[in-house]
Structure 1
Amino acid sequence: MTGPVTGPTSWDVYEYAAIRVVPSAERGELVNAGVILYCQPQGYLCARVELDEDRLRALCLTVDLAAVRHALTAYELACGEEAGPLRRESPGARFRWLTAPRSTVVQAGPVHAGLTTDPAAELETLMNRLVRTART
């Protein structure tokens, strides 16, 4: 006879998007450079970036790495306490603004959803799956 099943008591919906760098719109090639994750029930909004500069340069030798790094940092800052112009917006409004379609070199991909009990751990899992796997 087995005992009761133990596990998470509450699963929360989260949304996420890959943050990608598209150095040449004409070619359409991209490098995933980060992930932004929002979990409304837990009030969690975080973006993490890790740019593989060698991989990006392999797609475009003339890419402005300083500008790309600056744009990627803006995603992280917009999710923090010092969110700059977005600081008065709710985490949900910031997520929507950051993931809105744009025609830029650094952009968010499509928004996807899932269930989690730990958004920070989920962000790490997504970073491993979407960003770091290209390095292996």
Structure 2
Amino acid sequence: MRIPYEYAVIQACPRVERGELINVGVVLYCQRLDFLSARTDLREERLLALDPHADVPAIRAALASWDATCTGSGAAGGISQGERFRWLVAPRSTILRAGPVHMGLAADPSDELDRLVGLLVKI
């Protein structure tokens, strides 16, 4: 049985004023299965092509915070998975942001997240 889920691509925009970005991960939420997870794959060479002075360690640390928010660590511990997902995908003007939210159907959200990362980030 396939179950509905929502996802957004995590994008890095090292120079916000230029608006250039690369896909660095995916965050996926499946309410029915209480599943919220982010998977990332920062391709340093792509990032540095946009901004040779990008602070790669800081961006990696910021990406780790997406995973921490998904698991409910720290300040995110007091809010539901749905609220955490909505907070992560809310529009913002920072180095890391989420693209538009999309919907899909899958039997296993974890496998689907792996598939989406392979399709949208690792290519």
TM category, shorter:
over 0.9
Q: What displacement does 1:72 show?
A: 0.5
Task: Name 2:94's counterpart in structure 1.
Answer: 104
Q: Report the 3-state secondary structure (helix = DSSP H, G, I; strand = E; otherwise coil) of the residue aligned with 2:52.
A: coil
- How many equivalent residue pairs? 123
Task: Name 1:6's counterpart in structure 2.
Answer: none
Are 1:87 and 2:77 counterparts?
yes
TM-score of the two chains, using structure 2 as the length reference = 0.96
Aligned-CA RMSD value: 0.9
Q: What displacement does 1:25 show?
A: 2.0
Rg larger in 1 or in 2? Answer: 1
Q: What displacement does 1:49 show?
A: 0.8
Of 31, 35, 40, the residue aligned with 2:22 is: 31
Which protein has greater RCO, CA pairs closer than 8 Å, 6+ apart? 2
Q: What displacement does 1:70 show?
A: 1.1
Cα distance between partner residues in 1 of 2:74 and 2:87: 13
Alignment of 1:1-136 (within 5 A): 10-80=1-71, 82-133=72-123
Unaligned runs of 5+ residues in structure 2 are none
Q: What displacement does 1:99 show?
A: 0.6
TM-score of the two chains, using structure 1 as the length reference = 0.87
Q: What displacement does 1:11 show?
A: 1.8
